[in-house]
């Protein structure tokens, strides 16, 4: 019984921004626990290659090409998935971008890009999927936040603002949709070795600072996010709602 609480057999999961990095790691991890996965992104080649790798490993995987900043495209493709592949049981709102610059020099167009992708994208996908989940009386939405949902760091204030918004959007989705049987939670990763963070990984001074600042003393590996995703996607979290789960090696727990 306890083991079945974490089973994802028979569930269909849509992961936005999953052609690489954290999104792809979560797609593979959820598939390993029994889910069928739909990978999303804007680049057909990148998404197609990721789907092919999962299929070669024996998993059921599909592609869904749309830009999360375009609500009409999101709505159309979510409807297509529901009609052609199956009912979406779990949505993982992972699509996101980063841009680093001093706040006083931060380009306005990058501010708009960050909010359109990181916040509006999660809203668009969450809304489109929830419209199908609500009549069924069940569903899971997992938003990907960050330690920047809680903390700020020099040079990324707008990104920090978007991830703070994700934490409260998660709470707002819970407030509106929990009564319909949906569970909406967030995972807030600390510093992980990903393509988005490669410049920081390669910066010896930053890596030394991070390893000293983080109680665990190291960068995270993307596979270490899978357990949190399985928990929030499964029946094990049936009464967890509006929560942000920090997976950060203790970074937000200490000064």
Q: Quote the CA–CA distance of 255 and 252 in Å, as a whole number.
A: 8
Q: Tell me whether residue 159 is one of the annotated catalytic residues.
A: yes
Q: What does the pLDDT look like over 126-137, one tens digit per residue?
A: 999 999 999 999
- When comparing pLDDT for 73 and 198, which is higher? 73
Confidence of residue 255 (pLDDT cuts 50, 70, 90): confident
- Secondary structure E strands in the chain: 12-15, 36-41, 61-65, 90-93, 139-144, 182-189, 244-247
The answer to whether the beta carbons of residues 27 and 39 sit under 8 Å apart is yes
Task: Point out the catalytic residue in the list 59, 66, 123, 159.
Answer: 159
The three-point CA angle 135-140-146 to 5° equals 140
Q: For residue 125, what are the contacts with CB-CB under 8 A and spacing of at least 6?
A: 14, 16, 68, 74, 78, 91, 93, 95
Q: Which residues pair with 38 in a beta bridge?
A: 14, 62
The percent of residues above 70 in pLDDT, for the chain, comes to 99
Q: Quote the CA–CA distance of 73 and 83 in Å, as a whole number.
A: 15
| Cα dihedral value 127, 14, 221, 249, nearest 10 | 30
Average pLDDT along the chain: 96
As a CATH number, domain 3-248 is: 3.40.50.720
Mean pLDDT of the 238-246 span: 98
Of the candidate ranges 9-13, 39-43, 92-96, 200-204, the one whose mean pLDDT is the lowest: 200-204
In the DSSP assignment, the letter for residue 118 is I
pLDDT at site 195: 80
């Amino acid at each position: 019984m306890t083991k079945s609480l974490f089973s994802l057999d028979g569930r269909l999961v849509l992961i936005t921004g999953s052609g690489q990095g954290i999104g792809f790691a979560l797609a593979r991890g959820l598939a390993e626990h029994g889910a069928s996965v739909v990978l999303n992104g804007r680049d057909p080649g990148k998404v197609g290659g990721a789907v092919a790798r999962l299929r070669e490993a024996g998993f059921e995987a599909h592609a869904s090409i749309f830009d999360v900043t375009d609500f009409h495209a999101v709505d159309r493709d979510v409807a297509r998935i529901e009609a052609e592949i199956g009912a979406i049981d779990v949505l993982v709102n992972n699509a996101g971008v980063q841009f680093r610059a001093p706040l006083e020099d931060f380009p306005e167009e990058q501010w708009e890009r960050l909010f359109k992708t990181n916040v509006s994208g999660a809203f668009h996908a969450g809304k489109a999927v929830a419209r199908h989940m609500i009549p069924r009386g069940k569903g899971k939405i997992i938003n990907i936040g960050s330690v920047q949902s809680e903390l700020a760091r020099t040079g990324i204030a707008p990104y920090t603002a978007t991830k703070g918004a994700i934490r409260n959007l998660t709470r707002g989705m819970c407030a509106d949709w929990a009564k319909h049987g949906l569970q909406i939670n967030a995972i807030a990763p600390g510093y992980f070795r990903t393509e988005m963070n490669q410049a920081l990984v390669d910066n010896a001074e930053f890596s030394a600072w991070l390893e000293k600042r983080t109680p665990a003393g190291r960068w995270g590996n993307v596979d270490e996010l899978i357990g949190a995703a399985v928990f929030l996607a499964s029946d094990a979290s049936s009464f967890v709602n509006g929560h942000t789960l920090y997976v950060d090696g203790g970074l937000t727990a200490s000064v």
